[in-house]
Amino acid sequence: MSLRVSAAVVKAAEIQNKQVKRLKQRSNAEIASLSKDFAERVKSTMKHLEKKGWVPVVFHGKRTKEQQQEKVKSGASKTMNSFHVGGSHIENFKNGFAFNTRGEAADIVDARFLWSGPCKDLDHQFWKDLGSYAKSQGLEWGGDWKSFKDVAHVELRRIEISQVMRGSIA
């Protein structure tokens, strides 16, 4: 019996190692889709997580509008105006000023679990470690959001402010 269990454990470990290797390759491509500044912050976050024993990978970086549509359709995202999609921005106007927020986003997961197994729990230690360190890097963490907790999501926001001119001065 113990030989069968051992063989099953070995087989499971082999499958998991293949998954981790495949996801690390994918992660490298996803990181390459990010700006240099954001990529450096993401890589720093991942190194921190590795030191804690996690196996972090970037599962999603930049997405096309079509990919984002699929995320919204499946319920994995609540907006088409996601910072995963290049060119997305949020405009606000107040007291004669225009606030234009642009950003980038990435989803970081542990390659062994993704969003399942122990990481299905939104209070799992991996998510807490991710959020804590990402915030120390000046990133916003989706786990802090009230309406839709997105614990794998980190983003870098840039706010542009301009004064709205009404009429012209002659």
pLDDT in tens, the chain (170 residues): 455 668 777 777 788 888 889 999 999 999 999 989 999 999 999 999 999 999 999 999 988 888 888 888 998 887 777 777 776 555 666 667 666 556 789 999 999 999 999 999 999 999 999 999 999 999 999 999 998 899 999 998 776 666 665 544 44
Does 47 fall in a domain?
yes
Does 169 fall in a domain?
no
Q: Which residue has the tokens 């989803």?
A: 107
pTM, rounded to two decimals: 0.80
DSSP state of 169: -
Does 168 fall in a domain?
no
For position 99, which CATH number holds?
3.30.1380.10
Does 170 fall in a domain?
no
User: Which stretches of the chain are assigned E, i.e. beta strand?
Assistant: 56-60, 89-94, 97-110, 140-141, 153-163
Question: What is the CA angle 115-130-9, rounded to 5?
Answer: 50
Domain that holds residue 119: 2-163
Does 115 fall in a domain?
yes
Q: State how many domains the chain has.
A: 1
Does 7 fall in a domain?
yes
Q: Which residue has the tokens 């007291």?
A: 95
